Structure 1
Amino acid sequence: MKVFIPVIDCSRNRYTIAESFDAFGSVCIFDTKENLVTWYESKGVSATYEEILEELKSDGVAKAIISTVQPTTVNSFKNKGFHIYKSVGNDLRLNLELLKIRCLPVFNYELVQELNELGSFYPKNSVYEGTICQN
């Protein structure tokens, strides 16, 4: 399984998860099977969300770890078949460890859809549900 994580950059801040999908400067791809982390520079890329997700999907990426996501972006992920985890803080290493032991919260698509339909304010910490840890 490959996981996409937007990070600040590929150098000094490569272990810092970007605040939002809109604000990322680089991309970290974690291959859980190979236990391999790879960084890609994404600044200056003029691709749309849909194009980025399509390319990631074609490279075998099916999951993402993200700090904050707007409901419309969540829908883009869902439409492309991605599974989204909510990061715990912004430390990449901690989040990858939590992913390995299945302790990252999972975004709740149904709640995001309800918020979209109601036109409600989107509180950034309310659209995910916890998963059961395997300890």
Structure 2
Amino acid sequence: MSRLERSHNLLDAIAACDWYDAEMVMSAVLEEARADAPLVPFGDIEDDAEFWAAMATYEELRAYFLACGKRLARRQIGRRGKIRLAQLLLADLTDEDRQTMVATHRTGDAGRQVIQPERRQAEGPRR
């Protein structure tokens, strides 16, 4: 049986279940498949990091990325290190989004996206 056929069978089985039962089974399976925290590297640290990242859930990737980013920001990684990180972060942005990011940084509004409510003149009795 091909991978595609097995996937269709799995989807059919999920659809045939009561949603509550299917959710419980899928949650248990996904929890078992989680990568957990990275272990002490036994070989090349970058290979271990790539392996762990490939196995991690979105929530794990996000949490570790933000925690590592905060720690790296406090370290002296040098100009080249900062440029390399920025290139990685900006690589998937559109040109317009990159320009917005740079412009936001230059104006000092980084991290502060404020949406002002529309101001209206108070309407009282007309005189």
Write 1 or 2 for the structure with the bigger share of helix: 2
Q: Which has the higher contact order (CA 8 A, sep 6+)?
A: 1
Q: Kindly name which structure, 1 or 2, has the bigger radius of gyration based on alpha carbons.
A: 2
Is the shorter-chain TM-score for this pair beyond 0.5, marking a shared fold?
no
TM-score by length of 2: 0.22
Query: TM-score, normalised on structure 1?
Result: 0.21
Counting strand residues as a fraction of each chain, which structure ranks higher?
A: 1
